[in-house]
C-alpha cells in the first residue's frame, strides 16, 4: 500500500509538472491578444502602411495631380528612407519638381541618384531625366551629350522612344531639321510604346520649320520611310499656296505613288475634292498687342492639330480700315468658312460690318460691347466687362454687401467697367455711393482717396460703403490698396477684374492684394480633366503655361470643330444656326453656349489672393 501510494504521488507530481509546462507556453500567447488565431506581426503592418502610402502617391502621379503627388512621395521618403519603394519615389520626386517648374532642383536630384551608383534600370531612367532637365534649362549641348550616350545602351522601347524624340526636340531647337528628322525616324520604330501625341506634334513642327529645300532633300533621301509622306504633303501644299500648280501636282502624284494608303494621301485627296475648310484668324501678331496675339494664336494652333480645319493667320492691327479691307479681300475665297477675331475694339468695328455684308460668320475675340448687334453673322466669345461685373456683383450680394464705391482709371477700359458696374448695380437694386476717376499713369491716388474718405466716414456709424471696385491691373490696384489704411479704409472688400490674374505677382503686390475678389474665365488649378488635358498639351508643345488668351484661342477653334461634326461640308449660311445650338460641351468647360444676342455665356471662376497665391474664392 505504501508503494502504491508513493506511485500515485509521483503520478500527481508528473501531471502537475506537465500542466505547469503547458501553462507557461500558453501564457505568453495570451499577452498578444484574446484571439487564439495567429495575428499579423508588427512588421507586416508596417509594410502594409508603407505600401498604402506609396500607392496613394502613385495614384496622384497617374492622375497628374502633381503637387499632391510631390507631397505624398516626400512624406513616403521621410517615413521610409530605406523602404522598398524609396528608389522609385526619389525618381518620381526628381521628375515632379521639374514638372512643377524647378528644373534646377530636378537636375540636382537626378545627379544625386546617379551618384549612388543605382541599379542599371534606375540609372537609365535618371540619365534620361537629367537630359530632360538640361533641355528644359536651355542647356542643349549638355542635354544632347547625356541623351546621345543613352542611345548606346539597351533601353526599353518606351524609353528608347522618349530619348530619340527628345533628341529630335533638341535638333529642332538648334535649327537642325534634317538631324531632327533622323531622330524622329528612329523614334517611329518604337511608336507603339511611346507618346503618339508628342510624335505627331514633333512631326508637325518639323515640317513647318523645314525650308522647301530641306523638305525636298529629305523626301529624296528617305524615299521608303512612311515618315516621308508628311514631307511630300507639305511640299504639295506649299507649291499650291505659291501658285506653282505643276509642282503641286508633281508632289501630289509622288505622294500617292509612294504611300497610297497613308493618311497624308487621304488628306491630299480631300483637298483635291474641295473639302478644305479654312478659318481666317485676325490677330495682332506685331506691334503693341503682339504678345496677346501670340498666346491666342498658340491656343488655336493646338486646337487644330490633326483636324480638317486649316488656319490662315493675318496680322490685324488696331485699325478699323485695315481690318475691314482684310475681311473684304478674303471673303471672296469659297474655302473660307469663318473669321476668328479681331482682338481690339477698333479692328472689330471694321471687321464685323464687312463680314456681315459678305455673309461670312465672324466670331469676335474682343470685349467691345454690343458688337453682335452688327448682324446675325457676328458672334462674340470673349470675357466681357458685363460678364465680369455681373459675376462680382452676385458674389458680393450673396455675402450681404449692398453699398459700393468705384475707383477707376480715366481710360477707355476704366470707363467701360465703371459704366457696366453702375448698370449692374441698378439692375440688382444696390447702391453705388461714389465713383472717383484717376489718371491712368499716376501712382498718387491721394485726391481720389480723399474724396472717397469723405463719403466713407466710418466714425459716424456704419461706413458709407462696404466694397470698393477698382478695374485696373495688379500694380495699380496694389498701390491703391497700400494707401487705403492711411485713409482709414482698410476694412473694405476690394473687387477687381481679371487683369489681376497675373502668373507671377511680386511679393509686395500679392501681400497688398490679399483677400481681393476678381473673376476670370480660366484657372489653371481647376481639376477638371478637360482643363488639365489642355494645360498638359499646351505645356508639351510650347514649354510654358497657358493663360486665358491661349484658352480662348483653343476654345473658339474647338467650337468650330463641334459645329462641323456630322457635316464636314457645312456651308457658311448654315454655320450661325449650328453655333447657336451648341450648349455645355464636355471638352470645353469654359463655354456654356451662345445667348440670343450671339454672345458666349462663359463659366467664370471667382478668384482671390491668399498667402501670396491665386486661389479659388468659392
Residue 41: predicted pLDDT:
61
Residue 96: predicted pLDDT:
94
Q: What is the pLDDT of the chain when averaged over all its residues?
A: 88
326 or 6: which leads in pLDDT:
326
The most confident of the ranges 36-45, 116-125, 249-258 is 116-125
DSSP 8-state class, residue 607: E
Q: Does a structural domain hold residue 106? A: no
Q: For residue 450, is pLDDT > 80? A: yes
Residue that terminates a domain, selected from 360, 380, 400:
380
Q: How many domains does the chain have?
A: 3
Q: Which of 112-126, 150-164, 210-224, 561-575 has the lowest mean pLDDT?
A: 561-575
Q: For residue 379, is pLDDT > 70? A: yes
21 or 194: which leads in pLDDT:
194
Q: Does a structural domain hold residue 437? A: yes
pLDDT band at 334 (very low <50, low <70, confident <90, very high): confident
Q: Does a structural domain hold residue 292? A: yes
Q: Does a structural domain hold residue 342? A: yes
Angle between helical axes of 320-330 and 345-358 (0-180°, round to 10): 30
Residue that terminates a domain, selected from 251, 273, 295:
273
Residue 19: predicted pLDDT:
46
Q: For residue 358, is pLDDT > 90? A: yes
Q: Which cell goes with 494?
A: 476690394
On whether both 452 and 511 belong to a single domain, the answer is yes
Q: For residue 55, is pLDDT > 60? A: yes
Residue 288: predicted pLDDT:
87
Q: What is the mean pLDDT of residues 257-272?
A: 79
Q: What are phi and psi of 273, to 5 degrees?
A: -85, 5
CATH code where residue 246 lies? 1.25.40
Q: What is the mean pLDDT of residues 259-265?
A: 88
The most confident of the ranges 138-142, 330-334, 508-512, 528-532 is 138-142
On whether both 442 and 510 belong to a single domain, the answer is yes
21 or 471: which leads in pLDDT:
471
Q: How far apart are CA 302 and CA 282, in angstroms?
A: 17
On whether both 412 and 480 belong to a single domain, the answer is yes
Q: Which of 181-195, 237-251, 428-442, 499-513 has the lowest mean pLDDT?
A: 237-251
pLDDT band at 34 (very low <50, low <70, confident <90, very high): very low
pLDDT digits (tens, 9 = 90+) for 150-172: 999 999 999 999 999 999 999 99
52 or 7: which leads in pLDDT:
52
Residue 363: predicted pLDDT:
97
Residue 2: predicted pLDDT:
38
Which residues does 497 contact at the CB level (< 8 Å), separation at least 6?
385, 388, 417, 471, 472, 518, 519
Which residues does 279 contact at the CB level (< 8 Å), separation at least 6?
304, 309, 310, 311, 312, 336, 337, 338, 339, 340, 557, 560
On whether both 345 and 435 belong to a single domain, the answer is no
pLDDT band at 11 (very low <50, low <70, confident <90, very high): low
62 or 6: which leads in pLDDT:
62
Q: For residue 431, is pLDDT > 90? A: yes
Nearest in space to 374 (alpha carbons), one of 415, 317, 327, 337: 327
Q: For residue 323, is pLDDT > 70? A: yes
CA distances to 304, 362, 573 from 569, in Å: 17, 18, 12
Q: For residue 582, is pLDDT > 60? A: yes
Q: What is the mean pLDDT of residues 598-605?
A: 93
On whether both 514 and 398 belong to a single domain, the answer is yes
Q: What is the mean pLDDT of residues 467-476?
A: 96
Q: Burial, 604: exposed, middle or buried (Cβ in 10 Å; 0-12, 13-18, 19+)? A: buried
Give the range of the structural domain holding residue 223, as residue numbers without chain letter.
Answer: 210-273
Q: For residue 530, is pLDDT > 70? A: yes
Residue 33: predicted pLDDT:
43
Residue 452: predicted pLDDT:
95
pLDDT band at 1 (very low <50, low <70, confident <90, very high): very low
Q: For residue 402, is pLDDT > 70? A: yes
Q: Which of 16-20, 331-335, 404-408, 477-481 has the lowest mean pLDDT?
A: 16-20
Q: For residue 262, is pLDDT > 80? A: yes
Residue 523: predicted pLDDT:
94
On whether both 371 and 445 belong to a single domain, the answer is no
Q: For residue 459, is pLDDT > 70? A: no
Q: Burial, 12: exposed, middle or buried (Cβ in 10 Å; 0-12, 13-18, 19+)? A: exposed
Other C-beta atoms within 10 Å of 515: how many? 12
Residue 438: predicted pLDDT:
96
Residue 503: predicted pLDDT:
73
- 323 close to 282: Cβ distance less than 8 angstroms: yes
Q: What is the mean pLDDT of residues 136-143?
A: 95
On whether both 390 and 513 belong to a single domain, the answer is yes
Q: Which helix (H) or strand (E) holds 367?
A: none
On whether both 407 and 466 belong to a single domain, the answer is yes
Nearest in space to 442 (alpha carbons), one of 417, 476, 413: 476
Residue 32: predicted pLDDT:
42
Give the dihedral sign, CA 327/329/334/335: negative
On whether both 250 and 359 belong to a single domain, the answer is no
pLDDT band at 123 (very low <50, low <70, confident <90, very high): very high
CATH code where residue 462 lies? 3.40.50.2300
On whether both 351 and 248 belong to a single domain, the answer is no
Q: Does a structural domain hold residue 179? A: no
Whether the pTM exceeds 0.85: the reply is: no
Q: For residue 276, is pLDDT > 80? A: no
Q: Which cell goes with 104?
A: 534646377
Residue that terminates a domain, selected from 380, 395, 422:
380
pLDDT band at 265 (very low <50, low <70, confident <90, very high): confident
Q: For residue 7, is pLDDT > 60? A: no
Residue 17: predicted pLDDT:
52
Q: Does a structural domain hold residue 65? A: no
Q: Which helix (H) or strand (E) holds 269?
A: helix 263-272
Q: Does a structural domain hold residue 609? A: no
Other C-beta atoms within 10 Å of 540: how many? 13
pLDDT band at 20 (very low <50, low <70, confident <90, very high): very low
Q: Does a structural domain hold residue 89? A: no
Give the dihedral sign, CA 89/94/99/101: positive
pLDDT band at 428 (very low <50, low <70, confident <90, very high): very high
On whether both 361 and 476 belong to a single domain, the answer is no
Q: For residue 306, is pLDDT > 60? A: yes
DSSP 8-state class, residue 331: T
On whether both 507 and 422 belong to a single domain, the answer is yes
Q: What is the mean pLDDT of residues 575-595?
A: 91
- 184 close to 199: Cβ distance less than 8 angstroms: yes
Amino acid at each position: 500500500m505504501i508503494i502504491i501510494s508513493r506511485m500515485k504521488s509521483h503520478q500527481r507530481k508528473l501531471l502537475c509538472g506537465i500542466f505547469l509546462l503547458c501553462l507557461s507556453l500558453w501564457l505568453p500567447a495570451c499577452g498578444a491578444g484574446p484571439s487564439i488565431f495567429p495575428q499579423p506581426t508588427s512588421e507586416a503592418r508596417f509594410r502594409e502602411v508603407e505600401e498604402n502610402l506609396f500607392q496613394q502617391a502613385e495614384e496622384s502621379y497617374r492622375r497628374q495631380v502633381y503637387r499632391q503627388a510631390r507631397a505624398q512621395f516626400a512624406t513616403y521618403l521621410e517615413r521610409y528612407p530605406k523602404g522598398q519603394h524609396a528608389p522609385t519615389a526619389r525618381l518620381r520626386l526628381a521628375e515632379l519638381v521639374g514638372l512643377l517648374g524647378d528644373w534646377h532642383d530636378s537636375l540636382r536630384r537626378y545627379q544625386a541618384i546617379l551618384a549612388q551608383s543605382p541599379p542599371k534600370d534606375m540609372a537609365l531612367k535618371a540619365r534620361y531625366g537629367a537630359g530632360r532637365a538640361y533641355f528644359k534649362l536651355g542647356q542643349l549641348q549638355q542635354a544632347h551629350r547625356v541623351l546621345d550616350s543613352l542611345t548606346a545602351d539597351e533601353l526599353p522601347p518606351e524609353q528608347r522612344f522618349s530619348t530619340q524624340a527628345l533628341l529630335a526636340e533638341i535638333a529642332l531647337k538648334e535649327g537642325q531639321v534634317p538631324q531632327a528628322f533622323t531622330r524622329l525616324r528612329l523614334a517611329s520604330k518604337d511608336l507603339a510604346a511611346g507618346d503618339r501625341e508628342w510624335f505627331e506634334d514633333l512631326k508637325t513642327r518639323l515640317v513647318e520649320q523645314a525650308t522647301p529645300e530641306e523638305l525636298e532633300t529629305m523626301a529624296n533621301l528617305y524615299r521608303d520611310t512612311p515618315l516621308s509622306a508628311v514631307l511630300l504633303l507639305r511640299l504639295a501644299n506649299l507649291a499650291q499656296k505659291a501658285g506653282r500648280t505643276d509642282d503641286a501636282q508633281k508632289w501630289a502624284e509622288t505622294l500617292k505613288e509612294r504611300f497610297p494608303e497613308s493618311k497624308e494621301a487621304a488628306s491630299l485627296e480631300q483637298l483635291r475634292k474641295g473639302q478644305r475648310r479654312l478659318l481666317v484668324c485676325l490677330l495682332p501678331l506685331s506691334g503693341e498687342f503682339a504678345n496677346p496675339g501670340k498666346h491666342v494664336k498658340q491656343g488655336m494652333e493646338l486646337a487644330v492639330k490633326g483636324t480638317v480645319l486649316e488656319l490662315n493667320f493675318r496680322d490685324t492691327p488696331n485699325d478699323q480700315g485695315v481690318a475691314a479691307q482684310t475681311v473684304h479681300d478674303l471673303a471672296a475665297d469659297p474655302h473660307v468658312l469663318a473669321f476668328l477675331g479681331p482682338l481690339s475694339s477698333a479692328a472689330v468695328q471694321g471687321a464685323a460690318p464687312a463680314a456681315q455684308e459678305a455673309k461670312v460668320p465672324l466670331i469676335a475675340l474682343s470685349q467691345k460691347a454690343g458688337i453682335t448687334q452688327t448682324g446675325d453673322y457676328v458672334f462674340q466669345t470673349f470675357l466681357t466687362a458685363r460678364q465680369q461685373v455681373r459675376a462680382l456683383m452676385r458674389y458680393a450680394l450673396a455675402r450681404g454687401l449692398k453699398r459700393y464705391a468705384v475707383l477707376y482709371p480715366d481710360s477707355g477700359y476704366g470707363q467701360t467697367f465703371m459704366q457696366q458696374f453702375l448698370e449692374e448695380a441698378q439692375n440688382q437694386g444696390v447702391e453705388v455711393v461714389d465713383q472717383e476717376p484717376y489718371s491712368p499713369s499716376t501712382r498718387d491716388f491721394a485726391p481720389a482717396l480723399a474724396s472717397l474718405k469723405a463719403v466713407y466716414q466710418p466714425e459716424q456709424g456704419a461706413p458709407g460703403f462696404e466694397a470698393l471696385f477698382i478695374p485696373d491691373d495688379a500694380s495699380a490696384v496694389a498701390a491703391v490698396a497700400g494707401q487705403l489704411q492711411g485713409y482709414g479704409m482698410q476694412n473694405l472688400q476690394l473687387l477687381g477684374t481679371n487683369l489681376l490674374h497675373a502668373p507671377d505677382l511680386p511679393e509686395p503686390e500679392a501681400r497688398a492684394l490679399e483677400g481681393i475678389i476678381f473673376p476670370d474665365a480660366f484657372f489653371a488649378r481647376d481639376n477638371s480633366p478637360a482643363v488639365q488635358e489642355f494645360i498638359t498639351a499646351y505645356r508639351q508643345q510650347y514649354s510654358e503655361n497657358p493663360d486665358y488668351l491661349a484658352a480662348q484661342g483653343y476654345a473658339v477653334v474647338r467650337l468650330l470643330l463641334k459645329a462641323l461634326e456630322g457635316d464636314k461640308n457645312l456651308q457658311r449660311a448654315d454655320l450661325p444656326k449650328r453655333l447657336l445650338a451648341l450648349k455645355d460641351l464636355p471638352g470645353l468647360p469654359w463655354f456654356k453656349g451662345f445667348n440670343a444676342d450671339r454672345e458666349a455665356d462663359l463659366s467664370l471662376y471667382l478668384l482671390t489672393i491668399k498667402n501670396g497665391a491665386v486661389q479659388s474664392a468659392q
